[in-house]
């Protein structure tokens, strides 16, 4: 049943088409018009081609770039700007400076408007404005009705170029963040992401550093002013513009405002520093009184060498079969569907953009079955490294990757953002143009090759946040014991004070 | 999208999905995240024919068997966002089968007579045999519940209380599961969709509806008609009991392993007195334990007839062709009896209710009022009130986050469900502030709205945002499909088109009247949440309690260190030192010493047995 003979299937298709033809495909409740099995359905071609980036790309005076996708369907315009600024530029004793600068850009007012007046103006215009400063990238967004776009752009650019960083608002934001720090140990999810980051990348890299009450305390308004002055400017800005705009007009409007932006920002030191940490394989446990263990099992993957390399898509394909695409993937199918051990179970794997990437199996299971589920997941990691995948698995995963591509280009704002992201990442636009062909060229051998090359069972690190003793006790029905997983080497990670992150033992 | 629909989406999505759809790198992309991302991504694809504001021109028709359809053509797309709504949710359940609507949603992914098996005959026989065994297990549970009532056992469902007979039955059952697996084609529904590039197979259940969604390449829409009509016509609930375990895990994930989940569930149960909204969509755990496949069959007969369903398509297609396909495929379903209505009305609340909770959470407050159902005329006014309160320029932010600086966040939301509504205020305390402080300032905010007319400009601001959001809501076709499904499930998809005008008509006097109608203490439930003392700590061994605090800290730190030692030789050394020092230790420190010794030997045992395991394994 799994493999139908090709000739028989063709015959059926022909017969069904013939029947449809004879009946004229008309309305009516005729049972025979419905094929007996969906494999007998015949489809027309999909009318879709990847939009080309080049005609949408505009180099602005002063070196910025804008991707503009016109779409007049609704009277809305959407403008995003990407800048190379973020936590990688903040000093180690002021962790949180970039994030707070991002928040205060939005909430701290401008030179001409108090924070309250700025918020009133934005809300009355019914605009939506946001700013976020991440690890290596800053993104600011504006969505507004197109008939007030000029006024909105004025506010948007003033916000970015002449922030007030109101001192009272800074105190309020800092105190709000302090409240969120207090909740660090409340949710297993936040504990797991913190410990996982540290296990894989160490605690010293800027992507691992976390704000503490002391680091927040050290951040002053002068720091924000200086950080903004030094790092936030129009140099190298990439815009994604879409909606009810006219390309020449919006390009000119952006250029005019960029020319007025009086910035002292310097070119960022690039590429950013990489983490220097060798993860130690084994099982790491964080004790928390919850009935379900939150689990991650994985290791580092290398930084990407090239977007064109065959391994990029082969890794996606391999992961899709292993645990990356829902019920059709092996880990989900066995852990959830066969055994009922988890609601959510799967895997992901990616090469890093600026430093190492990672491979991860992720699931949540009741304390008693954490180890049993791990055993199953690890069996699947071994299997995909040693055996070729089936033809059906390969074809399903390939079709999925190729056929869901159009969904990424469905809307004008998706197209503009995707191409702007290409520009920031250094991903060639060609990546998309021949994506489907490259996917279809992949083979079972490619899947095994990347699994063998990149997945290394000896390097696996496992983290469990949950009821420690119940987890290590293993399966009550005897289906798995601790020593069957990563050699059973366990390390208890200490509790940490949520505000200082120092080790505590109360 | 408006904060209101964002919240509705989030709430609906959180109410429980069949599974987390995933693609590429992000495995655990929940439905909620997916929808918020899509809504935020903002595609501009609607073409509204009429002048005078945004609107969705959906073509509607009803098949002879009563199944209704909504079609919205979006020729620019390469896909079709597709859904069908079953007008049944947890409000249609009764005590004993709570969680059924949601479990049923999961079962709809398990296949049909054609999809998911090699041998439909034997498959159905096996399911009958499995059911007979489960009936026997359920009758033993009946005895165990009686034992628990008499106090002879604690938990009738605990593993250790399984009787030998049950274990024997479980073995027989497992053998049938194995046999069934041999003729089963695992998750074939998902597999067929996936290999055809359909990216968003999922479903969710709320109080009022169950919605099955997907996104299909435009040229393959007939596949959706085939598979969806097939699973409505010929569903086979195979793997019923494994899926029940999955739902238990889902409950642990959403409710039990989150900081406030279990308290929020009890808050809901306390708020609704007579109405079935009082139980959680995911169901009470004891009901999940004994729910049967035959109850699921009954549920299907009652609620999954075509006259209780609405199909929704948004995307690139020709509507005439869709009508033909709908007739040909869904027209095969047989009309059923009209499903029973939910008749129990919520009793009028007579006195204020209060709850005091202690959890691993930030001190916070939740106050909820009874309000009218979906599309009641006051509901629009309550929407306006929520938006007067929300956002950076809203009254809550200005009074609590700024102003008195007693909250790190504060918000309100109006939730009008199909049969009844509620309005909720929540805030998290900041610094030394307490839930009582938040309650006091909330009272002041309410009083001002009751006593003073809102300023025209403030009201206009809210209306402007609603108007712009009415356009934003149309940006993403997938989100549009989602909203059509949601509003149709609540009672009327066309709500999407009338909302902006209804909001525009709200006056300052309406706001004052509605505030004075619903915002009374006797109409509310107040929940105060406090941080449980010492939440991150390991429970202190009783031997330590007598020690001075600084010694206690030192000893517990050393205990942690000992438990973390990886090297058996080092542990033996530590043990040796402890023994050697034993005689010199003052009497009052003996218990601490004994604790350390115990921890070290336990750890050593652990290391040694691990090493033995490794040898065996190699």
Task: Tokens for B41, please give them.
Answer: 């991504």
CATH number 3.30.830.10 given to A282-504: yes
Q: Which residues 6+ apart lie within 8 Å of B341 measured at CB? A: none
Q: Are A323 and A381 in contact (CB under 8 A)?
A: no
Q: How far apart are CA B80 and CA B221, in angstroms?
A: 7
Q: Are B301 and B109 in contact (CB under 8 A)?
A: no
Report CB contact under 8 Å: B199, A404.
Answer: yes
- B-chain CB neighbours of A35 within 8 Å are 226
Is the minimum CB–CB distance between A180 and chain B shorter than 8 Å? yes
- A-chain CB neighbours of B239 within 8 Å are 337
Report CB contact under 8 Å: B27, A30.
Answer: no
Is the minimum CB–CB distance between B19 and chain A shorter than 8 Å? yes
- A-chain CB neighbours of B185 within 8 Å are 1-2
Q: Are B170 and B380 in contact (CB under 8 A)?
A: no
**Nearest CB partner across the interface for A143, out of B42, B201, B460:** B42
**Nearest CB partner across the interface for A343, out of B47, B253, B610:** B253
Tell me which residues of chain A, numbers 336 to 355, contact chain B at a CB-CB cutoff of 8 Å.
Answer: 336-344, 346-350
- C-alpha dihedral, A10 to A13 to A14 to A15, nearest 10°: 120
Is the minimum CB–CB distance between B98 and chain A shorter than 8 Å? no
Q: How far is CA A342 from the centre of its chain?
A: 23
CATH-assigned architecture of domain A56-260 = 2-Layer Sandwich (3.30)
3-state secondary structure string across A18-64? HHHHHHCCCCCCCHHHCCCCHHHCCCCCCCCCCCCCHHHEEECCCCC
Check whether the bond before B38 is cis (ω within 30° of 0). Answer: no
How many Cβ contacts (< 8 angstroms) between chains A and B?
346
Q: Which residues 6+ apart lie within 8 Å of B445 measured at CB? A: B389, B395, B396, B399
Q: What counts of helices (H) and strands (E) characterise chain A? A: 18, 14
Is the minimum CB–CB distance between A101 and chain B shorter than 8 Å? no
The reply to whether A282-504 shares the fold of A56-260 is yes
- B-chain CB neighbours of A37 within 8 Å are 114
Q: Are B549 and B557 in contact (CB under 8 A)?
A: no
The domain limits of chain A are 6-40, 56-260, 282-504
Q: Which of B2, B5, B16, B24 to mutate to test the interface with A (most CBs of A within 10 A)?
A: B24
What are the φ/ψ torsions at residue B23 (nearest 5 degrees)?
-155, 150
How close, in Å, is residue A393 to chain B by CA atoms?
9
Q: Are B74 and B45 in contact (CB under 8 A)?
A: yes
Q: How far apart are CA A71 and CA B45, in angstroms?
A: 8
The residues with which A80 forms a beta bridge, in sequence order, are A141, A240
Tell me which residues of chain B, numbers 499 to 538, contact chain A at a CB-CB cutoff of 8 Å.
Answer: 534-538
Report CB contact under 8 Å: B79, A145.
Answer: no
Helix axes B435-451, B508-518, angle to 10 degrees: 130
Nearest Cα residue to A9 out of A41, A34, A33, A44: A41
Q: Write down the pTM of the prediction.
A: 0.84
**Nearest CB partner across the interface for B219, out of A46, A172, A504:** A46
- SS3 of residue B322 by DSSP: helix
How close, in Å, is residue A64 to chain B by CA atoms?
23
Q: Locate tokens 């009083």: which residue?
A: B447
Phi/psi-derived region of residue A62, left when phi > 0, alpha when psi is between -120 and 50, beta in every other case: left
Q: How far apart are CA B32 and CA B83, in angstroms?
A: 16
Alpha carbon of A394 to those of A9, A314, B195: distances in Å?
A: 20, 11, 10
Regarding the domain with residue range B353-531, which homologous superfamily does it belong to in the CATH classification?
Metalloenzyme, LuxS/M16 peptidase-like (3.30.830.10)
Is the minimum CB–CB distance between B77 and chain A shorter than 8 Å? yes
pLDDT in tens, B581-592: 766 777 767 777
The domain limits of chain B are 117-184, 353-531, 542-617
Helix axes B120-149, B293-303, angle to 10 degrees: 110
Per-residue confidence in pLDDT tens, chain A, 506 aa: 333 333 333 333 333 444 343 444 334 444 557 999 999 999 999 988 899 999 999 999 888 999 999 999 899 999 999 999 999 999 999 999 999 999 999 999 999 999 999 999 999 999 999 999 999 999 999 999 999 999 999 999 999 999 999 999 999 999 999 999 999 999 999 999 999 999 999 999 999 999 999 999 999 999 999 999 999 999 999 999 999 999 999 999 999 999 999 999 999 999 999 999 999 999 999 999 999 999 999 999 999 999 988 899 999 999 999 999 888 899 999 999 889 999 989 999 999 999 999 999 999 999 999 999 999 999 999 999 999 999 999 999 999 999 889 888 988 999 999 999 999 999 999 999 999 999 999 999 999 999 999 999 999 999 999 999 999 998 988 999 999 999 999 999 999 999 999 998 64
Is the minimum CB–CB distance between B402 and chain A shorter than 8 Å? yes
Q: Are B396 and B433 in contact (CB under 8 A)?
A: no
How close, in Å, is residue B563 to chain A by CA atoms?
7
**Nearest CB partner across the interface for A404, out of B197, B239, B247:** B197
> What is the end-to-end Cα distance of chain B in Å, rounded?
58
Is the minimum CB–CB distance between A114 and chain B shorter than 8 Å? no
Q: Is the ipTM here above 0.95?
A: no
Is the minimum CB–CB distance between B42 and chain A shorter than 8 Å? yes
**Using a CB cutoff of 8 Å and minimum separation of 24, what contacts does B612-617 make?**
B612/A483, B613/A481, B613/A482, B613/A483, B613/A484, B613/A487, B613/A488, B614/A483, B614/A487, B614/A488, B616/A483, B617/A483, B617/A484, B617/A487
């Amino acid at each position: 049943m799994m493999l139908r003979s090709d000739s028989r299937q063709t015959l059926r298709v022909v017969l069904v088409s013939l029947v449809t033809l004879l009946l004229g495909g008309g309305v009516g409740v005729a049972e025979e018009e419905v094929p007996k099995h969906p494999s007998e359905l015949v489809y027309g071609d999909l009318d879709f081609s990847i939009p080309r980036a080049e005609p949408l790309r505009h180099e602005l005076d002063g070196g910025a770039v804008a991707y503009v996708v016109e779409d007049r369907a609704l009277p809305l315009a959407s403008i995003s700007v990407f800048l190379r600024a973020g936590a990688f530029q903040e000093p180690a004793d002021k962790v949180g400076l970039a994030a707070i600068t991002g928040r205060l850009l939005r909430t701290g007012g401008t030179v001409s408007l108090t924070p309250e007046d700025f918020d009133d103006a934005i809300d009355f215009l019914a605009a939506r404005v946001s700013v976020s400063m991440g690890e290596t990238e800053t993104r600011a967004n504006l969505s507004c009705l197109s008939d007030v776009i000029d006024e909105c752009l004025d506010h948007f650019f003033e916000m970015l170029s002449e922030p007030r960083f109101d001192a009272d608002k800074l105190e309020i934001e800092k105190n709000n963040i302090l409240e969120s720090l207090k909740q660090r140990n409340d949710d297993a999810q936040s504990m797991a992401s913190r410990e996982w980051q540290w296990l894989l990348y160490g605690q010293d890299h800027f992507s691992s550093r976390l704000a503490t009450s002391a680091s927040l305390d050290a951040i002053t308004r002068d720091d924000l002013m200086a950080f903004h002055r030094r790092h936030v400017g129009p140099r190298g800005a990439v815009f994604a513009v879409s909606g009810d705009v006219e390309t020449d007009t919006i390009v000119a409007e952006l250029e005019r405002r960029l020319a007025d932006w009086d910035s002292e920002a310097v070119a960022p030191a690039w590429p950013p520093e990489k983490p220097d940490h060798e993860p130690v394989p084994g099982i790491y446990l964080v004790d928390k009184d919850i009935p379900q263990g939150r689990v991650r099992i994985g290791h580092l993957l290398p930084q990407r060498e090239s977007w064109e390399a065959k391994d990029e898509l082969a890794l996606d394909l391999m992961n899709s079969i292993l645990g990356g695409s829902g019920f059709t993937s092996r880990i989900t199918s066995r852990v959830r569907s066969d055994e009922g051990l988890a609601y959510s179970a799967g895997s992901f794997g990616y090469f890093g953009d600026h430093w190492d990437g990672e491979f991860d199996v992720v699931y949540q299971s009741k304390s008693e079955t954490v180890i049993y589920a791990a055993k199953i997941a690890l069996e699947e990691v071994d299997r995909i490294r040693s055996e070729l995948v089936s033809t059906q698995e390969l074809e399903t995963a390939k079709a999925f990757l190729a056929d869901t591509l159009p969904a990424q280009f469905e809307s004008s704002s998706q197209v503009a953002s995707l191409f702007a992201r290409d520009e920031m990442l250094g991903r060639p636009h060609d990546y998309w143009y021949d994506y489907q062909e490259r996917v279809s060229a992949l083979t079972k051998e490619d899947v095994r090759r990347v699994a063998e090359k990149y997945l290394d069972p000896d390097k696996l690190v496992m983290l469990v946040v949950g009821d420690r003793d119940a987890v290590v006790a293993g399966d009550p029905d005897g289906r798995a014991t601790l020593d069957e997983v990563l050699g059973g080497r366990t390390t208890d990670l200490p509790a940490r004070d949520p505000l200082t992150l120092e080790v505590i033992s109360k | 999208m408006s904060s209101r629909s964002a919240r509705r989406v989030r709430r609906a999505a959180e109410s429980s999905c069949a599974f987390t759809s995933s693609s590429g790198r992000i495995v655990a992309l929940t439905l909620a995240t997916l929808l918020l991302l899509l809504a935020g991504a903002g595609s501009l694809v609607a073409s509204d024919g009429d002048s005078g504001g945004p609107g969705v021109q959906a073509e509607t028709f009803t098949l002879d068997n009563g199944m209704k359809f909504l079609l919205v053509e979006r020729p620019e797309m390469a896909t079709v966002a597709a859904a069908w709504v079953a007008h049944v949710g947890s409000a249609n359940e009764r005590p004993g089968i709570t969680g059924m609507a949601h479990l049923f949603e999961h079962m709809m992914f398990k296949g049909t007579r054609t999809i998911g098996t090699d041998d439909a005959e034997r498959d159905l026989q096996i399911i009958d045999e499995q059911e007979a065994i489960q009936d026997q297990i359920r009758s033993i549970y009946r005895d165990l519940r009686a034992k628990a009532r008499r106090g002879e056992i604690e938990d009738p469902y605990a593993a250790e209380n399984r009787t030998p007979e049950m274990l024997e039955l479980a073995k027989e059952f497992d053998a049938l599961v194995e046999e069934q697996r041999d003729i089963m084609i695992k998750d074939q529904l998902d597999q067929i969709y996936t290999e055809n590039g359909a990216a968003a197979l999922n479903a969710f259940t709320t109080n009022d509806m169950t919605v099955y969604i997907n996104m299909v390449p435009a040229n393959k829409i007939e596949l959706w008609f085939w598979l969806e009509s097939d699973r409505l016509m010929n569903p086979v609930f195979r793997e019923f009991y494994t899926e029940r375990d999955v739902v238990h895990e889902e409950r642990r994930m959403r409710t039990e392993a989150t900081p406030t989940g279990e308290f929020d569930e009890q808050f809901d149960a306390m708020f609704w007195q007579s109405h079935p909204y009082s139980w959680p969509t995911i169901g009470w755990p004891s009901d999940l334990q004994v729910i049967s496949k035959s109850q699921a069959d009954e549920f299907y007969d009652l609620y999954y007839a075509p006259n209780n369903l609405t199909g929704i398509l948004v995307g690139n297609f020709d509507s005439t062709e869709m009508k033909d396909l709908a007739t040909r495929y869904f027209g095969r379903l047989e009309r059923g009896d009209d499903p029973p209505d939910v008749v129990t009305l919520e009793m009028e609340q007579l006195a204020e209710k209060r709850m005091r909770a202690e959890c691993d959470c930030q001190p916070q407050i939740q106050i909820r009022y009874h309000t009218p159902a979906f599309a009641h005329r006051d509901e629009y006014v309550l929407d306006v009130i929520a938006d007067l309160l929300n956002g950076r320029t809203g009254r809550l932010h200005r009074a609590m986050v700024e102003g008195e600086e007693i909250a790190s966040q504060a918000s309100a939301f109006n939730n009008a469900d199909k049969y009844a509504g509620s309005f909720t205020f929540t805030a998290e305390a900041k610094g030394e502030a307490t839930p009582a402080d938040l309650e006091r300032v909330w009272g002041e905010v309410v009083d001002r709205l009751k006593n003073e007319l809102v300023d025209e400009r403030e009201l206009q601001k809210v209306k402007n945002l609603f108007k712009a959001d009415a356009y934003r809501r149309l940006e993403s076709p997938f989100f549009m499909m989602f909203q059509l499904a949601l509003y149709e499930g609540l009672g009327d998809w066309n709500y999407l088109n009338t909302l902006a005008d209804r909001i525009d008509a709200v006056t300052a006097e309406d706001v004052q009247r509605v505030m004075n109608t619903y915002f009374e203490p006797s109409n509310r439930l107040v929940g105060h949440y406090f941080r449980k003392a010492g939440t991150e700590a390991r429970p202190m061994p009783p031997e330590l309690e007598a020690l001075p605090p600084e010694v206690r800290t030192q000893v517990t730190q050393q205990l942690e260190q000992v438990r973390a030692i990886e090297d058996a030789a080092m542990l033996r050394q530590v043990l040796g030192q402890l023994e050697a020092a034993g005689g010199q230790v003052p009497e009052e420190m003996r218990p601490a010493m004994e604790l350390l010794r115990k921890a070290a030997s336990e750890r050593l045992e652990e290391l040694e047995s691990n090493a033995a395991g490794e040898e065996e394994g190699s």
